[in-house]
Amino acid sequence: MEKVEIVIIGAGIIGLSIAKELSGLYEDILVLEKNPSFGQETSSRNSEVIHAGIYYPKNSLKAEACLEGKELLYQYCEKNNIAHKKIGKLIVAETKNEIKGLEELFKNALANGVKDLKIISKDEIRKIEPHIKAELAIYSGSTGILDSHSLMKSLAAKAKSCRAEIAYDTEMVGVDKCKEGFKIFVKDKKAEGFTFLSRVVINCAGLDSETVAKMVGLEKADYRLKYCKGDYFRVHNNKAKFIRRLIYPLVSKNSAGLGIHATLDLSGGLRLGPDDEYIENINYDIDESKRNAFYESVRQFLPFINLEDLGPDTSGIRPKLQGPGESFRDFLIKDESDSGLKGFVNLAGIESPGLTACLSIAKKVRAMVKSLT
């Protein structure tokens, strides 16, 4: 039976980052991706924002990986000519009642080690963003945007240049622990199946990470995913020219997202979103009836936007470990040796700031794999 050293399940931004990180150290690496190409789910359905590390609890993996990942990502984009722009971001207090919450968020960000922040007054806001309305704002200079498709394309190319292989249209349908490591059962787009062995399995399956964990016998309540969908609406009528930075509202601590915000893209477009709605089954249909809700959510701090400016754009789904109203859950990145599964590295709940943290997460997984081999 054919044998590889490492199999990575999923060719999203995390799987590709890990493949690139490991490919120079190990010769036999295979990435399995059920879709026809890389990053066709969560990795390509987001705001493409490089986050600063403001929101996450101190000493959490999300905070640490975001801060390290941000620096690594900017360096990687610069070195490899990946389109990106450090445009900055404002998190705004729309009313005086929100000022205390904004100040608490600022303190949290400082505790995380974010060093380039400042609180700016209403007059200062007016000078740099004359078309928005807010009482106070946190200004983050290190927040940016990037071309996530080009980033993933580059990571895939680097991994393959070091002899890693990526098998598209190939889905893992079973995995058994065995003496040699793991017996992997897969099928291709023709529904033809084959089996091979791998010493190490890295679960980067995103929305399917719980399914993969169950295949190997990990059915823990803490590993159950909740799907949180977010729709985006495009802002038409040349309204992108009214802002120069990303504009975010202040949201409550247990919010499922970061609030419906205004995000510029590298092509000069403007989107609002995502919202957050927990769903049972994966679907990417956009609910056009939400147009009014989107408009109402931003009209106070983005008064230049009119209802007729909004049109449906796209949607994405976050693979969350916490359900509606539940408290913060961190990234799960774990060597499952203590469950009798030495060689199985499990990643789950890799939502925002997963894109920003991708290279940092890859470093952490590399250290785990090194300890296993």
Q: Does residue 57 lie within any of the structural domains? A: no
Q: What is the dihedral of CA 336, 340, 344, 349, to 10 degrees?
A: -40
pLDDT at 253: 67
Number of folded domains that form the chain: 2
pLDDT at 252: 72
| Backbone φ/ψ region at 139: left (φ over 0), alpha (ψ -120 to 50), beta | beta
pLDDT at 246: 98
How buried is residue 92: exposed, middle or buried, by Cβ count under 10 Å (0-12/13-18/19+)? buried
Q: CA 316, 209, 363, 165 torsion: positive or negative?
A: negative
Domain containing residue 355: 3-44+149-224+328-372
**Do 295 and 307 fall within a single domain?**
yes
In the block, tokens 């590390």 appear at 53
Which ranges constitute the DSSP H helices of 27-129? 61-79, 99-112, 122-128
pLDDT at 254: 66
For 266-324, strand residue ranges (E) read: 270-273, 277-279, 310-320
**Do 193 and 247 fall within a single domain?**
no
**Which pLDDT tens digit goes with each residue over 107-156?**
999 999 999 999 999 999 999 999 999 999 999 999 999 999 999 999 99
- Full-model pTM: 0.97
**Do 236 and 315 fall within a single domain?**
yes
User: What is the three-class DSSP state of 196?
Assistant: strand
Which residues in the chain show pLDDT less than 50? none
**Do 260 and 155 fall within a single domain?**
no
In the block, tokens 């995502």 appear at 274
**Do 165 and 273 fall within a single domain?**
no
